[in-house]
A = this chain, B = another copy of it.
């Protein structure tokens, strides 16, 4: 019978979520705003997150948090990884803030990060216990975040970039019907570089991932775009046949 080692870790575990949204122009992330309590007197931002409950699966915890923040269910949600540096909560500002909010601010907390893709049209702001004030911040305007959240965000973004090259998950950020430019702009926003318009269209159409609807934009001061929708069957066929790269 092995003795219990008193140096074994017995931490709290939280789930933090990078929630991506797309406003047809740029990629945004839902962040919680926090007033700094030290001399800087400024605001700082953090990823939404919460401690995980007993009997709660990690994925379920992330779904719950996501739902409490956005009112949404059945949302694309993917694990980024676990972050457990013993000093991850030890920046001075973070410690002050934790002290004001938790009974045991010095406890070690390991976090399991997720990222999720939501359609901004479906989003309804919610009052949430763990996020008094939230806002959608454009990716390129995000400053240094609290805790190790900048690290989490950049890893989540990298995962999203890698993934979107392999699977057309971007559709989760768009409404049912969308124009080709919206889709195009979405890919450019995620990948952070320009993509040739014609080549992009050619590829999407060859893979038959989108299909045209008999409907056009109205009231736009230029040639109206046809609307398109995502073709899920063709996507599934691609996955089954071992398709593995978009090659943009």
Give the complex CA separation of A102 and B3 in angstroms: 8
Count of interface residues, chain A, beta-carbon cutoff 8 Å: 42
Decide: B84 and A81 in contact? CB cutoff 8 A: no
- Among B57, B81, B110, which residue has its beta carbon within 8 angstroms of that of A86? B57
Contact residues of A between 35 and 71, Cβ < 8 Å to B: 51-58
* Nearest CB in chain B to that of A165: its residue: B244
- Taking a contact as CB atoms closer than 8 A, the residue among B4, B13, B83 that contacts A9 in the complex is B13
Q: Mark A1-33, 1 if CB is under 8 A from B, else 0.
A: 111110111111100000000000000000000
Q: Is the CB of B7 within 8 A of A54?
A: yes
Q: Is A199 an interface residue (CB 8 A)?
A: no
Contact B7 A108 (CB under 8 A): no
CB distance from A2 to the nearest CB of B (A): 6
Partner of A53 from the list B7, B56, B110 (CB cut-off 8 Å) is B7
- The 8 Å CB contact of A4, one of B3, B84, B102, is B102
Whether the Cβ atoms of A51 and B8 lie closer than 8 Å is yes
Q: Do A5 and B51 have beta carbons less than 8 Å apart?
A: yes
Q: A79 an interface residue at 8 Å Cβ cutoff?
A: yes
Asked if A101 is an interface residue, CB under 8 A from chain B, the answer is yes
Known A4-B102, A82-B81, A84-B58: A9·B108 in contact at CB below 8 Å = no
Q: Is the CB of A2 within 8 A of B112?
A: no
Q: Name A13's contact: one of B13, B53, B56, B81 (CB within 8 Å).
A: B13
Q: Smallest distance from the beta carbon of A112 to chain B beta carbons, Å?
A: 4
- Determine whether the beta carbon of B54 is less than 8 Å from that of A110: no
A13 shortest CB reach to chain B, Å: 6
Say yes or no: A54-B108 contact (C-beta < 8 A), given A10-B12, A13-B13, A81-B81.
yes
Residues in B whose Cβ lies below 8 Å from that of A81: 79, 81-82
A215 to chain B, nearest CB (A): 36
Contacting pair B103 A51 (CB below 8 A) = no
Question: Is the beta-carbon distance between A110 and B13 smaller than 8 angstroms?
Answer: yes
The 7 lowest CB-CB distance pairs between A and B, nearest first, are A82-B82, A58-B84, A82-B112, A8-B51, A9-B52, A4-B103, A7-B53
Q: Told that A1-B103, A8-B52, A79-B82 touch, could you supply 10 new A-B pairs with CB distance under 8 A?
A: A2-B102, A4-B104, A8-B51, A8-B53, A8-B54, A57-B85, A58-B84, A110-B110, A165-B244, A245-B247
